[in-house]
Structure 1
């Protein structure tokens, strides 16, 4: 939970944006039968916008989602848990939009924390990867290189996507 900064991506929608951040906030559960949910607020600016301009926002809700055809659930153990999938649904006029995503990896601590997410293809976007950092300054180049090489080593579609990472622009001023 909290604020994460998108530092690198393969998703074309971030090429014309800058200062991309996502703030996750856990939603209270009415019962233990209700899936884990959290609000997310994506903020960004147009690449040509001034650093002090008001960011645009996209608000949605993420729900923990276990795909029905996931056979790894029965094979999981504490050392190898099943993949964690989420379903995002937009709020307001974006209520008709949804996507499925998962966390591929995370590490570090405090300001050096990082995460890698994979987004399935939707009607509006191709499949893609994002690298998040807790720090608005991003990740150390050596750490970033290590993360990208490990994603590439996964092979398949994800490994091929990792060859397309680009840096998401950040304003020089603190945002």
Structure 2
């Protein structure tokens, strides 16, 4: 049974820095963007609102950032970009987690600019032995199908 957290749980689980360790999202699979990280800061608990900073390194080792705000709506977040991306929106949800809430699966819906995708993220500074095996043995807990799992590429 998936352990999809409720908004009140996400307010305490998400703040902090997370490393993308597995994905099927094309943005992270090309050689132009490396070492993706998500940083979440709690803005408000009611309604649940987060500030996020998605960072990565380019092929020539320049760090880039995409900053936005995530607002809870029913059972998912609605992301809105800042600055040049202020008109951009996307929907995403945490579909499951491990018991310690240090590994999360996130599902992104398709937008006009990006395909749907899945990321498996791990809290920064947490080492998970055999991460791939953990997720493989617990796909349902992470809200993943066998096809979802098979579509993931595991990042260094």
Paired residues of 1:117 and 1:131 also in contact (CA < 8 A): yes
How far has the Cα of 1:147 moved from its partner? 1.1
Residue 84 of structure 2 is matched in structure 1 by 93
Q: Normalized per residue, which structure has more strand?
A: 2
What SS is found at the alignment partner of 1:151? Answer: coil
Structure 2: give runs of 5+ residues left out of the alignment.
1-14
- After TM superposition, where is structure 1 displaced by more than 4 Å over at least 4 residues in a row? 152-155
Paired residues of 2:102 and 2:126 also in contact (CA < 8 A): no
Distance in 1 separating the partners of 2:126 and 2:34? 13
Distance in 2 separating the partners of 1:167 and 1:138? 15
What SS is found at the alignment partner of 2:27? Answer: helix
Distance in 1 separating the partners of 2:146 and 2:114? 18
How far has the Cα of 1:44 moved from its partner? 0.2
Residues 100-151 of structure 1, C-alpha deviations (whole Å, 9 max, x = no match):
1111111254xx811110111111111111000113576322x322313433
TM-score by length of 2: 0.77
How far has the Cα of 1:49 moved from its partner? 2.6
Residue 64 of structure 1 is matched in structure 2 by 72
Which one has the largest radius of gyration?
1
Residue 151 of structure 2 is matched in structure 1 by 164
Structure 1: give runs of 5+ residues left out of the alignment.
67-83, 170-175
**RMSD (Å) for aligned C-alpha atoms:** 2.6
- Cα distance 1:168–1:154, how it changes in 2: closer, same or farther (>3 A)? closer
Residue 49 of structure 1 is matched in structure 2 by 60
Residue 23 of structure 1 is matched in structure 2 by 39
What SS is found at the alignment partner of 1:93? Answer: helix
Q: What is the aligned counterpart of 1:10 among 24, 40, 55? A: 24
What SS is found at the alignment partner of 1:161? Answer: helix
Matched, 1:39 2:29: no
Distance in 1 separating the partners of 2:122 and 2:86? 27
Residue 135 of structure 2 is matched in structure 1 by 147
Question: How many pairs are equivalent?
Answer: 140
Residues 76-119 of structure 1, C-alpha deviations (whole Å, 9 max, x = no match):
xxxxxxxx31110101110111111111111254xx81111011
